[in-house]
Amino acid sequence: MPTVEASPTREWRPLPTRNFREMDFQERVEAIGAASNYYGKVAIQLTMRHELPYTGAELYHSLMRTLGISDKADMPFSRSTPFDYCRESLWPISAVVKGVVKKNSRNITAFVKSQDSEEFFLPMAARFLVLADQFDISLVTLLGDTASPGIVRRGYVMASTMQNLYDANAPLPFSTIIERIGGNHFIGGPIEQLKSAGLVDYSKAKIDPLGESERGYAVATLKMSREEVGQLISEEGRLESALIGTKKAQQKRLYFSRLAIRAVLADPPQSIDCESLAKSLDINRSHACKVVTALCEIGVYQRDRETGERTSVWLTDRGRYAYEYGFVHGLRVSLDPSYASTPEYRGAYEELGRDGIIRLLSREKRRYVDQKVNNTPGRVAEFAGYIHEALLRRYPTGEPFRVKEVSGLVQEDRPRIAAAFKLLREQNVITPTHITLSTQDGPKEVSRGYYRLREAPKSE
């Protein structure tokens, strides 16, 4: 076992970190889920000690000791992953505090466990671990991949959807849930996540055999004014931001769908349907239906709901239990942080204790590893779409980038990122490139590991 120890005697200079109480309600709900949705995140918070700064190596070896792992080969993630979790996920939600320590006269980035972790996040992590163990599913299946698009977290939508279904105690149409949550939240992805965990179920409306539109939903009418549409497409990045997370924007024809959407918005008709749109844009009907759906999902158009059957969703018995045991406490503490000091909130955490949580983590490790290696083609393709969106936002004019830079855009493990990049290369979405570096011997071209988007859209 390596002996790399964090030292409490080093000079520690923390950077400003916003705490849980300074967040708004939605941010708190999202933070509760983001702090617990991966095996590694919970293990990190359990391992770290207050006021003790950890560098990358120190955190990795401390994790090995906490989890009782003596061989690095048995660790379910790479040496850099725990530190990446701190930097990209736990620090932004105030579970850890970022700072600098002196080590051999050098300034080294390090992290300290925050008070928020002990007060707000670990008590909820204990409840979610119990649920995951009882249901024999991983934490990420239960809570969702909050980094899934790398940009938009879905924790708030999932928790709010469960709350609305629980309060209604009856099936609700998708549209009703959206209205109650507020805003133009896309709920298809979160509801699919809840269904995969066995927490909800739904009945789909009948499908038109000629296409993908639901009966009675074929025609969509303009919801925004033309002035609002003009602002949507003129403000830089606003349309792309609205499209991220929509179900149709995650599919392979992402780039071409965006072009079709912009063509519609340039002169929006009062009403659209799949047939007329396919003819006017000279695209196939299936593609046209995806464009109509995306325009409805971002609030530009709305379906004609006077006829046809709606898709309804409801809580299962498992979902009702999960809400009462876990999710409702996260919503309550997000509404009133003082709830964190009550026995009701801390009960599971204190009952389990450190040893009990470690036992649950050992079983969660098995589920985590099983799910991580289950990179089915569909999951890889979906994740590749997330990466493509993140790259389009970060490198809109086609600048070169390296694969390892993606870890800062999408919080995921390297095997899944590598599988997604392989798919993007095979589809010619990205292409190898080179850069020129200035060295003591003059300019030097470097090509290994560098890529650029093959068809990056021009900034407008």
User: Is 175 a domain residue?
Assistant: no
User: Is 187 a domain residue?
Assistant: no
Q: In DSSP terms, which residues pair with 214 in a beta bridge?
A: 207
Q: What is the pLDDT of residues 172-224, one digit of tens each?
A: 887 788 788 875 556 767 887 888 899 998 875 443 333 344 443 457 888 88
Contact 149, 245 (CB under 8 A): yes
Q: Phi, psi at residue 309, to the nearest 5°?
A: -100, 145
**Structure tokens belonging to residue 323:** 């809400």
H or E element in which residue 128 lies: helix 122-135
| 22 plus 113 within the same structural domain | yes
| 356 plus 419 within the same structural domain | no
User: Is 2 a domain residue?
Assistant: no
Mean pLDDT of 38-63: 92
| 256 plus 328 within the same structural domain | no
Query: Which residue in 371, 380, 373, 356 sits closest to 136, CA to CA?
Result: 371
Question: What is the distance between the alpha carbons of residues 2 and 77, in angstroms, rounded to a whole number?
Answer: 17
| 126 plus 228 within the same structural domain | no
Mean pLDDT of 382-386: 70
Question: What is the distance between the alpha carbons of residues 380 and 95, in angstroms, rounded to a whole number?
Answer: 29
| 66 plus 116 within the same structural domain | yes
Burial readout 166-178 (b: 16 or more C-beta within 10 A, e: otherwise): beeeebbbbeebb
Contact 205, 189 (CB under 8 A): no
Range of the domain at 390: 377-453
CATH classification at residue 394: 1.10.10
| 19 plus 141 within the same structural domain | yes
| 331 plus 443 within the same structural domain | no
| 36 plus 143 within the same structural domain | yes
- Is the pTM for the entire model greater than 0.95? no
Highest mean predicted confidence (pLDDT) among 49-58, 206-215, 242-251, 429-438: 49-58
Of all residues in the chain, what percent carry a pLDDT higher than 70?
76
Q: What is the pLDDT of residues 357-370, one digit of tens each?
A: 999 999 998 888 77
Burial readout 53-68 (b: 16 or more C-beta within 10 A, e: otherwise): bbbbbbbbbbbbebbe
| 364 plus 381 within the same structural domain | no
Structure-model confidence comparison of residues 418 and 171, the more confident one: 171
H or E element in which residue 28 lies: helix 25-34
User: Is 72 a domain residue?
Assistant: yes
User: Is 133 a domain residue?
Assistant: yes
Cα angle: 154, vertex 253, 401; to 5 degrees: 75
User: Is 396 a domain residue?
Assistant: yes
| 283 plus 382 within the same structural domain | no
At residue 206, the pLDDT reads 43
User: Is 189 a domain residue?
Assistant: no
**Structure tokens belonging to residue 435:** 């850069």
At residue 32, the pLDDT reads 95
What count of other Cβ atoms lies within 10 Å of the Cβ of residue 235? Answer: 11
Classified as helix, coil or strand, 139 is helix
What is the rounded (10 degree) CA torsion for 39, 42, 44, 45?
180
Classified as helix, coil or strand, 451 is strand
| DSSP character at residue 133 | H
Classify residue 276 as exposed, middle or buried by CB count within 10 Å of its CB (0-12, 13-18, 19+).
middle
Sign (positive or negative) of CA dihedral 51, 56, 58, 59: positive
| 386 plus 339 within the same structural domain | no
> pLDDT category, 460, cuts 50, 70, 90?
very low
At residue 371, the pLDDT reads 66
Q: Domain boundary residue among 251, 278, 303?
A: 303
> pLDDT category, 20, cuts 50, 70, 90?
very high
Q: Domain boundary residue among 356, 372, 388?
A: 372
User: Is 181 a domain residue?
Assistant: no
**Structure tokens belonging to residue 50:** 């207050």
Ordered strands of the 401-402 beta sheet: 401-402, 450-453, 430-432
Maximum C-alpha span of the chain: 73
Highest mean predicted confidence (pLDDT) among 209-213, 283-287, 404-408: 283-287
Q: What is the mean pLDDT of the chain?
A: 79
Question: What is the distance between the alpha carbons of residues 241 and 235, in angstroms, rounded to a whole number?
Answer: 11
What count of other Cβ atoms lies within 10 Å of the Cβ of residue 439? Answer: 9
At residue 2, the pLDDT reads 46
H or E element in which residue 315 lies: strand 312-315
User: Into how many domains does the chain fold?
Assistant: 3
| 368 plus 384 within the same structural domain | no
User: Which residues are CB-neighbours of 251 under 8 A, at least 6 positions away?
Assistant: 257, 290, 385
Structure-model confidence comparison of residues 280 and 339, the more confident one: 339
Query: Which residue in 28, 248, 40 sits closest to 140, CA to CA?
Result: 40
| Inter-helix orientation angle 328-335/155-168, to 10° | 110
Question: What is the distance between the alpha carbons of residues 128 and 120, in angstroms, rounded to a whole number?
Answer: 13
